[in-house]
Structure 1
Amino acid sequence: MPVTVVRLNLVDPAATPGSLSGRYRAALEMAAYADERGISTVQTEEHHGSTDGWLPAPLVFAGAVLGATRRITVTVSALIAPLYDPLRLAEDIAVLDLVSGGRLVTVAGIGYRPEEYAAHGRDWARRGALQDEALETLLAAWTGEPFGYRGRTVRVTPRPSTRPHPPLLVGGGSRAAARRAARLGLPFFPSAHLPELEAYYHARRAEYGTEGWCLMPPETTALLHVAEDPDRVWAEYGRHLLHEARTYASWQPEGQRSAVRSRAQDTAALREEGVYRVVTPEECVALASQGLTSLVLHPLCGGMPVEEGRRSLRLFAERVLPRLKD
């Protein structure tokens, strides 16, 4: 059975403060419903300064989801680690690990938007060094022992419950990211299906003498919306899917390797491209039978109306998930 994921990034280009608050509350209700129905994962991410309200505080949102659920895993993919104070980040993740019983998975990325670094007073040219410091600090802090940090001795308490530390992966699409993961003995999560980068990671692990594994994205990643009438959804709501696709495309520099990358300029091209798909329940089951390792449902994509998002999630839970289990 593939991993089942509900992706929530809370984008809404037409939001008002009141409507956005309702969208956040609805997202928590969806997460609780997904948990009750046996969906594997809620996934969220981090971006800053977006005019459409893209989620900037994934750990806060993750904490709310963890509090509203009992079993489901919450994955932050990715957290832009260099934008955080490393000690405070270690404390926040430790508390979330304790609260959730180890259900938070953090993928630490380096980011790809210089303006996010500028907004937070971080030096884009030093992003590699900042990422090294952040990851090294997390691993030292979570031992519960004193350690050296910026010329002084510090200790972070309480210690997380998960041993040896909360789930932490290094994300990225570069050799530098793969080397960093290998050197620190952390799992590696490539930003796209990059077998050559996985081989490089394992080769560097062998040199460093570290343990680790690679979570490779599938060759084809599709963001799904389930509907009984896909033509209706594309006609009425395709603009929301296109909004997210175009926003991502505007952010990603040339050569950026990403599992979700669209070149579509209109909804017709987006539908033909297949990165964002609106499928019937039966078509969704068929996708799983084709060997996909994960099904990623994106019910609130690009400002999708909440009721349409709920309808998609219900169809997935009631008419797709039972057949996957069978």
Structure 2
Amino acid sequence: MSPPPRIGLWYDLRNPGPSRRTFTGLYRATLDQIAWAESLGIGSAWFSEHHFADDGYTPSPLVFAAAAAERTTTMRLGTNLVQAPLHDPIRLAEDAATVSLLSEGRFDLGVGLGYRQLEFETFGRTLRHRPSLLTEGIDILRQAWSGEEVHLDGERHQVRGVKVRPIPEQRPRIMVGGIADPAIRRAAAIGDGFLSAVDATIPVYLDEARSLGKEPAVCAAQWAIVADDPEREWARVGDLALYQINTYISWGAFGPPDRVPTYADRDELLAGGLFAIWDPATAAGHITRLLREHPQVEDVHFWAQLPGEDVAGGSARIEVLAHQVLPAVTAALKQP
């Protein structure tokens, strides 16, 4: 029998101004929310990474995952994603091993290339070196978690005879993200699974993974607002989604910022298809079709809050996911 579907939450912990919330208050409320969501049957929480953002986009997803591990008992935790080329891979191996141990093996390390010029310059990295930095970094992670000495004489990293301690009792899976075809093929080649940000990329990954003789696994992020009255909810939070997407565009997430225009308003954003608004039945139908078409998808997760939204506003949508969408998907998947 296949495991039940896992619906999860995605966090960036942004707190744009003007805001009366402190980051201490936001972090405490978010951890409370994660523990509460687990009690409702929400199955995962994912934490993203960016640096030097005016809105405080979390630069430390592993630290937050460790805090969440101490507030939960069954929920899977992961990064979606850590920008591995920015990190020393030995230090990343140590931190990820610690989160795995704290969570008793409930942790998946999601990694990707990154794209923001400011971050690479500040950390002394070069954007064009991203593929080799990522590939060598993953090699070092796996060696480090084996318990044996790490040896790599690579283009970007030279490591000789280092032993990482303690090693994880259950090695985190390395989930690799990507949107462009070369990045998806790389994810299939070097990862234990795929972090999908767009459902349309999943078949590309699955075909490549199968061609390599690998057992594919997918965790699929969704850019959708799910509410009983989605139009009313979009009127409430659509401008926050607009801010979120336009910030990514300005950072270069979708290509050179001088070539990719921002969206003028929330209606243009919705019409452009980067965000969707679903009622519970539509959400359940979409997830059910996705899981039936691609049973390798083991996790479907949604933004818990949009930047600047009160945690309570996100909690109302979490209740919809837990009380309406998850039971409907579970029931539908039991039907022949």
Question: Is the TM value for this pair above 0.5?
Answer: yes
Q: Which residue of 2 aligns with 1:284?
A: 283
How big is each residue's C-alpha offset from its partner over 1:2-49, in whole Å with a ceiling of 9 and x where there is no partner?
Answer: 431211111222265853222221111111112111112112211111
Cα displacement (A) at 1:82 = 1.4
Q: 1:215 to 1:324 in 2, by over 3 A?
A: closer
Instruction: Give the whole-Å Cα distance in 1 for the aligned partners of 2:64 and 2:325.
Output: 27
Distance apart, 1:88 and its partner CA: 1.2
Partner of 1:244: 244
Query: Do the aligned partners of residues 189 and 19 (structure 1) sit closer, same or farther apart at CA in structure 2, a change above 3 Å counting?
Result: closer
Which structure 2 segments of 5+ residues have no match? 153-157, 292-296, 332-336
SS in 2 for 1:10: coil
Partner of residue 172 from structure 1, selected from 171, 178, 199: 178
**Are the structure 2 counterparts of residues 308 and 173 from structure 1 closer, same or farther at C-alpha, using a change threshold of 3 Å?**
closer
* Secondary structure of 1:105 counterpart: strand
Work out which of the residue numbers 282, 288, 303 in structure 1 matches 2:308.
303
The CA distance in 1 between the partners of 2:321 and 2:196, in whole Å, is 27
Structure 1 distance, partners of 2:185, 2:237, is 42
How far, CA to CA, are the matches of 2:235 and 2:191 in structure 1? 48
Q: Distance in 2 between matches of 1:17 and 1:93?
A: 33
TM-score (norm 2): 0.80
The question of 1:121 aligning with 2:124 is answered yes
| 1:240 maps to amino acid | L
Give the match for residue 233 of structure 1.
233
Counterpart code for 1:233: E
Equivalent residue of 1:148, what SS? Answer: strand
Give 1:98 deviation, angstroms. 1.3
- Work out the number of aligned pairs and report it: 312
CA distance in 2, matches of 1:318, 1:295: 16
TM-score normalised by structure 1 residue count: 0.82
Distance 1:288 1:42, change over 3 A: same
CA deviation profile, 1:65-104 (whole Å, cap 9, x unmatched)? 1111100111211211111111111111111111112111
1:230 is displaced (CA, Å) by 3.2
Give, as a single letter, the amino acid of the residue that structure 1 aligns with 2:303. Answer: H
Indicate conservation of the 8 Å contact 1:225/1:299, yes or no: no
Between 1:94-103 and 1:169-178, the stretch displaced more is 169-178
Which residue identity lines up with residue 124 of structure 1 in the other structure?
A: L
The two structures, once aligned, show a CA RMSD in angstroms of 3.0
Distance 1:262 1:96, change over 3 A: farther
In 2: Cα distance, 1:241 partner to 1:5 partner: 19
Identity, % of aligned positions? 31
1:300 partner letter: Q
Structure 1 contact 242–302 (Cα < 8 Å) conserved: no
Structure 1 partner of 2:45: 42
Q: How does 1:265-284 map to 2 (within 5 A)?
A: 265-284=264-283
User: Where does residue 320 of structure 2 map in the other structure?
Assistant: 315
Gaps of 5+ in 1: none
Secondary structure of the equivalent of 2:321? helix
Which one-letter code corresponds to 1:236 in the other structure?
Answer: R
